[in-house]
Chain A
Amino acid sequence: MMLTLMINGDPVPYHGDPRRSLLEVLREDLHLTGTKDVCGEGFCGACTVQIDGVPKVSCLLPVGSLAGAEITTIEGVSNIETLTAVQKAFLEYDVVQCGMCFPGMVLSMTHFMAENPSPTRAELKSAMTGNICRCTGYERIIDALISLGADGFGSADEVCP
């Protein structure tokens, strides 16, 4: 199958089996290894990407269904010189431990915080369902997100590391 994927704003031609998961294509073909391959069954959220701005698990997305979709991976949420507010909060609160969950956390929580800028801890916990941190660093992740507050959630170019 031949199609063009739009990944982090760039058109990427794809030739191959349309049933391959987006996760496989990102990591094996395009070497975008920020998207992590962990459970492969949609439970853990380590492979979360955004499809047209909405977080989804790339391990269960057949690449043949994504023609015309805007795909954003962790490599595309900000550029090399800037961090998003969520990334900066994660850095400041030192939430990253082994590093397997946090790309998915960033993509899920960036979307959630944009829709819910002043969440409660309970709402954050509910929103984090499906992004499993095997290091069990949840409370610090929540602290980081709470710190953003209603006024602290800016666009990517407003916050530098």
Chain B
Amino acid sequence: MMVISQDGLISVTRVSQALDILTRLGETATVMAGGTWVMREARDRTFVSLANIPDLTDISLDAQTLVAGSMVTHQDLCDAITGAPDLAALATAAGKSATPAIRRMATLGGNLCTRDFYSADLAPALLALNAEVDLETSSGRQTLSLEDYLNTPVDRPHILLRVTVPRTAARSAHVRLMQRQAGDYPLAVVSLSAVITPDGALRDLRIAVGSVEKRARRWRALEALCEGQTMTSDSIRTHAALRASQDFVGRDAVDGQGWYRLRVLPALVARAFSDMSRTEQGAGR
């Protein structure tokens, strides 16, 4: 049963209702999660609010997996996982993005689904942590790697239900650069996850870059250069400097030019590596 059905904002209690309405209204409607994007960019459309769908705000964390519903806020996500060494990148991304007030409103699903928002923090962190997403589409339920979800067309409309992150013995870190110390969109983001073997080599290395291009993505060429190697901050920085302009096309925008985003990437990779190596829990900036 629908809770509220009024011009402009429709609040649903089931995912299937949301899909039905989005199919019927087409481009004149948009999903509303936390509201922090649609209130700025889509107020001419009908909002289909997911706030009253049970389960989408659930978080579970055990030794095997983290499962977070798409309506979990950044703050709730941060609170739930702080202290988990392998999830340090995600805790930093969720706990440092935007501002405290926005973190209490903006959701995990909104961060991943808003394709016009290029500076998402959670996307690179979750790419580095090898996350999967569960979607509900008009043709049924799908499970995709986050990488596939971000980089391939998916049936529209769809609703992102939850994100699953496998727990590992890895450490992780998330580093973001802004014009100011806090409260801005990041110019560039690097998330990194790896197991550091007793002899100091990196295993299962995943590096993800956000905000540099329109969509976050893995830096596979750099991963291949460093996998299995014993690295230092200086050596990984050198590798990153050699690859950056070959592997990315920096995005020009009001907050920063593309060349600058590429220029800072090696330093951010080195910082992320240093943070990951320095403490058992990883660290963030």
A19 neighbours in B (Cβ, 8 Å): 8-9, 39, 43, 47
A1 close to B (CB within 8 Å): yes
Residues of chain B within 8 A (CB-CB) of A64 are: 4, 6, 8-9, 11, 47, 49
| Contact (Cβ within 8 A) A1 B35 | no
Q: Indicate if the CB atoms of A130 and B47 lie closer than 8 Å.
A: no
Whether B47 pairs with A42 at a CB distance below 8 angstroms is: no
Whether A61 touches B4, Cβ cut-off 8 Å, given contacts A45-B99, A48-B101, A108-B101, is no
Q: Which residue of chain A has its CB nearest to the CB of B183?
A: A129
Q: Which of B32, B49, B102 contacts A57 (CB 8 A)?
A: B102
Q: How large is the interface on B (under 10, 10 to 19, 20 to 34, 35 or more residues)?
A: 20 to 34
Q: How many CB-defined contacts (below 8 Å) exist between A and B?
A: 88
Q: Find out whether the CB atom of B4 lies under 8 angstroms from the CB atom of A67.
A: yes
Residues A59 and B105 in contact in the complex (CB < 8 Å), given A65-B9, A129-B182: no
Give Cα A54–Cα B79 distance, bound, in whole angstroms. 15
Q: How many whole Å from B223's CB to the nearest CB in chain A?
A: 32
Inter-subunit contact B9/A18 (CB<8 Å): yes
A62 with B35: CB separation less than 8 A = yes
Cβ of A56 and Cβ of B9 under 8 Å apart? no
In the complex, what distance in Å separates the CA atom of A112 from the CA atom of B7? 37
- Whether B99 contacts A56 by the Cβ 8 Å rule is no
Min C-beta distance of A71 to chain B, whole Å:
14
Interface: B104 (CB within 8 A): yes
Residue A17 CB within 8 A of the other chain: yes
For the complex of A and B, list the 5 residue pairs with the smallest distance between their C-beta atoms, beginning with the closest.
A130-B99, A18-B9, A1-B6, A64-B9, A129-B182
| Given contact pairs A42-B98, A57-B105, A130-B100, a sample of 15 additional A-B residue pairs in the complex whose CB atoms are under 8 Å apart | A18-B9, A19-B9, A21-B39, A42-B99, A42-B102, A55-B100, A56-B105, A60-B36, A60-B40, A126-B182, A129-B100, A129-B182, A130-B98, A130-B102, A132-B183
